[in-house]
Amino acid sequence: MNSFIVKGLVFAVVLMIGTVIVVQQMHIDLSDPINWITMIGALAIAGLSFGVSAKYLAQMQNDTASGELADENWDGIGEYKNELPSGWAWSFLGTMIWGIWYFLLSPYSVNAFSQIGQWNDEVKAYNTKFEAVHKNADADTLRDMGESIFLVQCAPCHGITGDGLSGKAEDLTAGHTKKQVLGIIANGQNAIAAFPGGMPPGMASGAAAEKAAAFVASGCKGTAPAEFGVCAGCHGAKGEGVPSVGPKIAGYDVPNVLAGGKHGKIGVMPSFKTRFTPVQNKALETYISSLKR
């Protein structure tokens, strides 16, 4: 018997014995048909590994190349004009057919049942119902709802009172100070991702900047000074913001920050665009607006 076959047979036997020992050590219940099928499959793989390895190793040792050489060669290395072995061709074709079946028709196809898909459908249905129920919620309901959302989603960075955890995130209870607003006027800002154009520096200076900054720091309360006119063109007459032009500066622009995230000196806040429903966005804005400033 060829030495390759002997070695391959020994390897196959060792592999089978090892499989049996491992199964016994794992205390697998072989009375279960599924476990039996799995065991048979493992032994079959060991046997096939022996058979295929022995066949081709023996063939490599004994066979010689034959056939008509192609005219081309590379550094003396030629190529035979032999046809592709039929086994290879049929294996390739079978793999393609199996792949199409698996992708389109099998229990694991793209159109098959998916627990993730079911969960997404259930969440979508629930959110639709939630939006309908709370469509006209009053301010107290929105504030309570917003507090619940804030404590779960926002508090890990902003703190349960919104104080920013000593600089870990922005302090939502303080608002912008006059000094901060003057810094933005002087240096510009491109913090809110929903407004990629940002605000250019030097929109005002001197006494005009002082008066505009004081009005913004007050939360844009009362009568706007004439110096605020240069700001109103982008931010609105009362600092309420202009869609696609300038963010809200009478308080925090919660909707746009949630939609696109925010860039700041202490880090980047990710977008929450797909996490909250419109009602939840409104509830968060109501609650954050109620925090002490």
Would you say residue 220 lies in a domain?
yes
Would you say residue 277 lies in a domain?
yes
Q: What percent of the chain has pLDDT over 90?
A: 34
Instruction: Find all residues with CB under 8 Å of 284, minimum gap 6, and list them.
Output: 146, 149, 150, 154, 254, 258, 276
- Same-domain check for residues 161 and 268: yes
Would you say residue 92 lies in a domain?
no
Domain limit, last residue, from 61, 91, 112: 61
- Same-domain check for residues 143 and 32: no
59-68, 71-80, 264-273: range with lowest mean pLDDT: 59-68
Would you say residue 200 lies in a domain?
yes
Instruction: Assign 142 a pLDDT band (cuts: 50, 70, 90).
Output: very high
pLDDT for 124 equals 92
pTM of the model: 0.58
Paired tokens of 136: 């006209």
Residue 263 pairs in a beta bridge with 268
Instruction: Assign 95 a pLDDT band (cuts: 50, 70, 90).
Output: very high
Residue 262 pairs in a beta bridge with 192, 269
15-24, 152-161, 239-248: range with lowest mean pLDDT: 15-24
pLDDT digits (tens, 9 = 90+) for 179-229: 889 999 999 988 888 888 889 999 899 999 999 999 998 889 888 999 898
Would you say residue 68 lies in a domain?
no
Would you say residue 101 lies in a domain?
no
Instruction: Find all residues with CB under 8 Å of 15, minimum gap 6, and list them.
Output: 46, 49, 50
Domain limit, last residue, from 25, 45, 61: 61
Q: In the predicted model, what is the mean pLDDT of the chain?
A: 86
Instruction: Assign 44 a pLDDT band (cuts: 50, 70, 90).
Output: confident
Residue type, 245: V
For residue 89, give the DSSP letter. Answer: H
- Same-domain check for residues 185 and 275: yes
pLDDT for 56 equals 77
Instruction: Assign 244 a pLDDT band (cuts: 50, 70, 90).
Output: confident
167: left (phi over 0), alpha (psi -120 to 50) or beta: left
pLDDT for 268 equals 87
What is the rounded CA–CA span in Å between residue 25 and residue 187?
Answer: 70
Q: What is the mean pLDDT of residues 89-101?
A: 92
Q: Is residue 132 a contact partner of residue 267, using CB atoms and an 8 Å limit?
A: no
Angle at 61 between CA 59 and CA 67, to 5 degrees: 65
Instruction: Find all residues with CB under 8 Å of 256, minimum gap 6, and list them.
Output: 192, 194, 195, 241, 247, 248
Q: What is the mean pLDDT of residues 155-171?
A: 89
Q: How long, in residues, is the chain?
A: 293
Q: What is the mean pLDDT of residues 19-46?
A: 77
What is the rounded CA–CA span in Å between residue 185 and residue 198?
Answer: 12
pLDDT for 2 equals 62
What is the rounded CA–CA span in Å between residue 235 and residue 216?
Answer: 11
pLDDT for 139 equals 92
- Same-domain check for residues 148 and 256: yes
Phi first, then psi, for residue 53 (nearest 5°) are: -60, -45
- Same-domain check for residues 143 and 286: yes
pLDDT for 27 equals 73
Paired tokens of 123: 């969440």
- Same-domain check for residues 152 and 18: no
Residue 55 has pLDDT above 80, yes or no: no
Residue 190's closest CA among 252, 265, 117? 265
What is the rounded CA–CA span in Å between residue 146 and residue 123?
Answer: 19
| Number of independent structural domains in the chain | 2
Domain limit, last residue, from 42, 61, 80: 61
For residue 271, give the DSSP letter. Answer: P
Long-range contacts of 152-161 (CB under 8 A, 24+ apart): 153/272, 153/275, 154/284, 157/269, 161/291
- Same-domain check for residues 267 and 147: yes
Instruction: Assign 4 a pLDDT band (cuts: 50, 70, 90).
Output: low
Would you say residue 117 lies in a domain?
no
- Same-domain check for residues 157 and 42: no
Q: What is the mean pLDDT of residues 51-71?
A: 77
Instruction: Assign 133 a pLDDT band (cuts: 50, 70, 90).
Output: very high
Q: Is residue 205 a contact partner of residue 213, using CB atoms and an 8 Å limit?
A: no
What is the rounded CA–CA span in Å between residue 26 and residue 11?
Answer: 22
pLDDT for 168 equals 85
Which residues constitute the domain of residue 167?
139-290
